[in-house]
Chains A and B, each alone.
Chain A
Amino acid sequence: MHCSAECSRGPRVIRLLLLVVMLTPTFSGCAVAPRARFVDEAGVQVDVQLTDGESLRGQLVSMDSDALAIEHALTKNEYTSVVRRGGEEVVVVAGRTVGPAVEAREFDIVVRERFRHRNVEELRFASRAYVGWGTLVAVGLSYALIKVVESD
């Protein structure tokens, strides 16, 4: 009996799912292997809502009794500049000093800005952030690869 392409896909899909089911405990084991409960490097992704209505997303690095230090990206435009003051590079936006520059990228600049506790309306921490843009790229590439293999 001739088997169509559709019925030959079923076993392949099942084999793939079985592979994932077997690999997931392995990955989970790797994930719990670290001796330390928390990573040494500081920085947790947060969403900040300020009392003036502004909101931003960044990395909460540190705090003191006055303010939170959050690293976030500022888009490069004609109002944004980086100047050198006191031996370090500082980001200035429309004449206002924002904070020390952490990283200059092609389209934006990562700056560490201090936000006073009284100016923070709400703070939310990101947890279990596993899926990102890289995952979407991998989905597209894998889909294209499967199509190329099937066409050959």
Chain B
Amino acid sequence: MRSSRVLCVSALLLCLVSWGCARRVPAADLGAAGAEVGIRATMKSGETVAGRLLSMTGDLLVVEAIYEEAGGAEVVGRGSAARVVVDGEPVTGIVLGVEGARGARVARVERELPVADVRSATFHRSAREASLGPLAGLALGPLLGSLLGLLL
């Protein structure tokens, strides 16, 4: 009975540790893998694009750009026919969705940005992962050590 209990707890500990271990996602597959990497890019044209990085190669960045009406963007239309206009210029790309009430709507647009047109860009970690990381580490360590101490 003791050995089966140790086996069960060991399996649970292995699951907990595996859940907390990092995944290494290829830059070209970030969106498909569900990885959350933020990007804030300033183009050579002066345009600023911010959102989630979906894919990155040496030639092309694919970004799920976020445009907020509260931030000055204009969202025209609804659903798949929606268009986003910033400073009078329509934003090129595929509108993935529009959320929120009129006046505070947020549009997500998939945009392809040639690397050659990027003046500068910074990369940012997910806020959810950044806040959960220390908490998970804080909880997992004492939990694993305590369980091992009680069982062994």
Closest to B22 in A: A129
Say yes or no: is A124 at the interface (Cβ < 8 Å to chain B). Answer: yes
Of A12-20, A78-86, A90-98, which stretch is located at the interface? Answer: A12-20
The number of inter-chain residue pairs (CB within 8 angstroms) is: 200
The answer to whether B139 touches A27 (Cβ under 8 A) is yes
**A132 to B22, alpha carbons, bound, how many Å?**
9
For the complex, is B23 an interface residue (Cβ under 8 Å from A)?
yes
Q: Is the Cβ of A135 less than 8 Å from the Cβ of B140? A: yes
Contact A39 B133 (CB under 8 A): no
* A41 CB, min distance to chain B CBs, angstroms: 7
Q: Is the CB of A141 within 8 A of B132?
A: no
- B51-65 contact mask (Cβ, 8 Å, vs A): 1 or 0: 010001011000000
Please give 18 more A-B residue pairs, beta carbons under 8 A apart, in addition to A33-B131, A131-B140: A6-B2, A31-B135, A38-B127, A44-B37, A62-B123, A65-B119, A124-B24, A126-B23, A127-B22, A128-B20, A129-B22, A135-B137, A138-B144, A138-B145, A139-B141, A139-B144, A139-B148, A142-B149
Chain B contacts of A45 at CB under 8 A?
Answer: 22
Interface membership of chain A positions 114-134, coded 1 if the CB is closer than 8 angstroms to chain B and 0 otherwise: 000110101111111111101
Given contacts A117-B58, A117-B115, A137-B141, contact A9 B151 (CB under 8 A): yes
A138–B134 alpha-carbon span in the complex (Å): 12
What number of B residues sit within 8 Å (CB to CB) of A? 60
Which of chain B's residues have a CB closer than 8 A to the CB of A126?
22-25
What CA separation (Å) do A27 and B125 show in the bound complex?
19
A30-B139 Cα distance, complex, nearest whole Å? 14
**Complex Cα distance A77/B131, Å?**
36
A128 and B9 contacting across the interface, CB-CB below 8 Å: no
Residue-wise, chain B 112-124 has the 8 Å CB interface mask toward A (1 for contact) of: 0001111111111
Report whether A12 and B122 are in contact in the complex, using a CB–CB cutoff of 8 Å.
Answer: no
Least CB distance from A83 to B in Å reads 26
Q: B150 interface residue, CB < 8 Å from A?
A: yes
